[in-house]
Amino acid sequence: MPSLTQFTIWHWAGFIVVILFFLALDLGVFHRSARVVKFQEAFLWSLLWFGLAVIFAGGLVHWSGPDDGLEFFTGYLIELSLSMDNVFIIALIFGFFQVSQENQHRVLFWGILGALVMRGFMIGVGATLLQHFHWLLNAVGAFLIYTGAKMAMTKQENPQPEKNIIVRIARKFFPVTTAFDGQKFFTLLDGRKALTPLALVLIMVETTDLIFAVDSIPAIFAVTEKPFIVFTSNVFAILGLRSLYFVLADAIRYFRYLKFGLSVVLVFIGAKMLLAKWRPIPIGLSLATVAGIILVSIIASLISVWREKKK
């Protein structure tokens, strides 16, 4: 069923204004000063963002048709699932730099704001390329299969700031202090503007998200080629990632099979793209398959941990 609504500049502007309002409310009211984000608060924020995503999907079903609603929610689920692996990397970065719990929310806030801009640009470029070179979908599908297989066989490495090219460039232009200066990203060192370690953490988080976006954005284009739905599903997943981090950071190590499940998801999405011309997979079946793979990998992880503790 085709989309009943032609997404215009007013849809984009309205959505972005609402998101900016929520972000301003978050940093300006609820997290004006540095503090530890507790599990209960993070869990409630996670439920809020999930609920807003469900309401938005329902709105799309009502105003634009069931296909758009299903495409949005499938893309949202894919992005949110892939973000779980990002949670583990962010936890490693915070641990490596010994970032206090009070300052973690500020890094995630600005990191996610930067991620929204980067992903918006990548989605715009991707949509334009696919519009003019539709055969690129096959190349993207093959890339996702390769990425999924590589993810399943590659071990997770600890963060290495000295190998991050953007961190190395930043250190060439700015001196870096050895100590944190509260929530500041910049401070003064011998009368010169200098980066604090918190700024390096932010750079690491941004570049990590950029790497993950190279996988996740093509995966959503396998579900829909509508830039508005790709962008909105990305935004909801990224905004939920901040609170999801504080919910899962201490427990993510128990999800030992989640990475394998995510790799299967990428392979499935890649195969869906390659087979679309001959045997298209209905969007409802895609949603059920992705949700089932993630659910099975999480349940298998928890059963494995429970058996170990029982022994």
pLDDT tens over the chain, length 311 residues:
455 557 888 888 888 888 888 777 766 666 666 667 777 888 888 888 899 999 999 999 988 888 899 999 999 998 888 877 777 788 888 888 888 888 888 888 888 888 888 888 888 888 888 877 777 878 888 888 888 888 878 776 667 777 778 888 888 888 888 888 888 888 887 778 888 889 998 888 888 888 778 777 888 888 888 889 999 998 898 888 878 888 776 666 677 788 888 889 889 888 888 887 787 888 888 889 988 998 998 899 888 888 887 77
Instruction: Give burial (CB, 10 Å; 0-12/13-18/19+) of 8.
Output: exposed
Q: Phi and psi for 192 in degrees, rounded to 5?
A: -110, 150
- Residue 3 counted as domain residue: no
- Residue 205 counted as domain residue: yes
- Residue 131 counted as domain residue: yes
Q: Identify the domain containing residue 87 by its residue range.
A: 36-310
This prediction's pTM: 0.83
Q: How many domains does the chain have?
A: 1
- Residue 279 counted as domain residue: yes
- Residue 17 counted as domain residue: no
Instruction: Determine the 3-state secondary structure of 188 from DSSP.
Output: strand
